[in-house]
Amino acid sequence: MNNYLISEAVGDIAGSVYEFGRKRAKDQSKVKIFAPGVRFTDDTVMTFACAEALLDGADPGEVMWRRGREHPTVGFGGMFRRWLASPSPRPYGSFGNGSAMRVSAAGWLAGSEEECVRMATGTALPTHDHPEGVKGAVATALAVWHLRQGADKQFIRDEVLNRYYPMWAGRSYADIVPGYRFDPTCEGSVGPAIISFIESSDYEDCIRKAIALGGDADTLAAIAGPMAYAYYGEMPQPLVERALEMLPGWMLEVSARLDERVNGGK
């Protein structure tokens, strides 16, 4: 396998035009992957920044701050923009889904469950130091990590979804999609993203399901995409190639370095 981080980027890019207003989707058959106007957003910038920090053993907050300031127009939320503007940024108690959408590198890189939790926590704390913010990062990273180890979907439902988000554990995709609304919190995003993965048939189907929830589409797909790749082991090559074409050089370098680290450690 290669292009581990691209599994997040494809989801983010595909969902970017469905996040707001009339373009929100509720029918996955009408979701067009890479519709006109798609772009990578803050989800991808922060995912690659966290990966870079973990690869270098650097402070995730410092790398996120530096890389975020290089891409000021990719859709950062108001509180995060203020964090980026500060010369001395401090955590601000967020429990938003930003901690979950940027954490997949911890799931790919960790050598143990304990290391995965530590890495995920480290990527959350610079901004999302609320317990729910940390929990969202940990649950997402652990789902990826366990799937890399060969866990099946029932394990993810029992040991990740039920453990961290029991309010979602007994629900199906068909049950939640009609009433699901935009919810930028970890509690309102990570569970539905996991359910989108669990009920998917392949990587692209997972992305479509996450987008068709009709909520924070790019982030839901960014959270679910790495889980699907870890489980299915493949992504449609045209989607990978299109995403690679859209990313700046520093992200391509980080992606290649992470691939080498993950594959070299096997």
> Can you give the pLDDT at residue 22?
55
Average pLDDT, integer, range 27-52: 94
**3-class SS at 48?**
helix
pTM: 0.97
> Can you give the pLDDT at residue 28?
87
Residue 145 lies in a domain: yes
pLDDT-based confidence at residue 25 (cuts at 50, 70, 90): confident
> Can you give the pLDDT at residue 59?
98
Over pLDDT 70: what percentage of the chain?
Answer: 98
Q: What total of structural domains would you count in the chain?
A: 1
Amino acid at 225: G
Backbone φ and ψ of 19, nearest 5°: -75, -35
Residue 92 lies in a domain: yes
pLDDT-based confidence at residue 260 (cuts at 50, 70, 90): very high
**Cβ–Cβ < 8 Å for 186, 130:** no
pLDDT tens for residues 201-254?
Answer: 999 999 999 999 999 999 999 999 999 999 999 999 999 999 999 999 999 999
Average pLDDT, integer, range 50-64: 98
Rounded-to-integer distance, Cα 7 and Cα 240, Å: 8
The neighbouring-strand residues paired with 96 are 185
Could you tell me the CA-to-CA distances from 104 to 147, 173, 174 in Å, in that order? 12, 22, 26
Rounded-to-integer distance, Cα 31 and Cα 187, Å: 24
pLDDT-based confidence at residue 19 (cuts at 50, 70, 90): confident
pLDDT-based confidence at residue 27 (cuts at 50, 70, 90): confident
With vertex at residue 125, the alpha carbon angle to CA 191 and CA 160, rounded to the nearest 5 degrees, is 25
Residue 127 has pLDDT above 80, yes or no: yes
Residue 24 has pLDDT above 80, yes or no: no
Give residues with Cβ within 8 angstroms of 2, minimum separation 6. 259, 263
Q: Which domain holds residue 179?
A: 6-31+40-260
Q: Retrieve residue 109's tokens.
A: 């890189």
Residue 266 lies in a domain: no
Q: For residue 146, what is the enclosing H or E element?
A: helix 131-148
Average pLDDT, integer, range 160-185: 95
Residue 266 has pLDDT above 60, yes or no: no
Nearest to 32 by CA among 13, 7, 45: 13
- Residue ranges of alpha helices (H) inside 157-213 are 162-164, 166-169, 173-176, 186-198, 203-212
Q: Residue 232's domain is classified under what CATH number?
A: 1.10.4080.10
Mean pLDDT, the chain, rounded, equals: 96
Rounded-to-integer distance, Cα 52 and Cα 40, Å: 17
Rounded-to-integer distance, Cα 89 and Cα 86, Å: 5
pLDDT tens for residues 74-114?
Answer: 999 999 999 999 999 999 999 999 999 999 999 999 999 99
> Can you give the pLDDT at residue 30?
86
> Can you give the pLDDT at residue 21?
58
Residue 86 lies in a domain: yes
> Can you give the pLDDT at residue 265?
59
Residue 265 lies in a domain: no
Give residues with Cβ within 8 angstroms of 238, minimum separation 6. none
> Can you give the pLDDT at residue 23?
66
Residue 80 lies in a domain: yes
Average pLDDT, integer, range 153-171: 97
Instruction: Determine if residue 83 is left, alpha or beta; phi over 0 gives left, psi from -120 to 50 gives alpha, anything else beta.
Output: alpha
Residue 57 lies in a domain: yes
pLDDT tens for residues 135-157?
Answer: 999 999 999 999 999 999 999 99
Could you tell me the CA-to-CA distances from 83 to 95, 131, 184 in Å, in that order? 15, 19, 18
Residue 1 lies in a domain: no
Query: CB count, 10 Å around CB of 175?
Result: 11
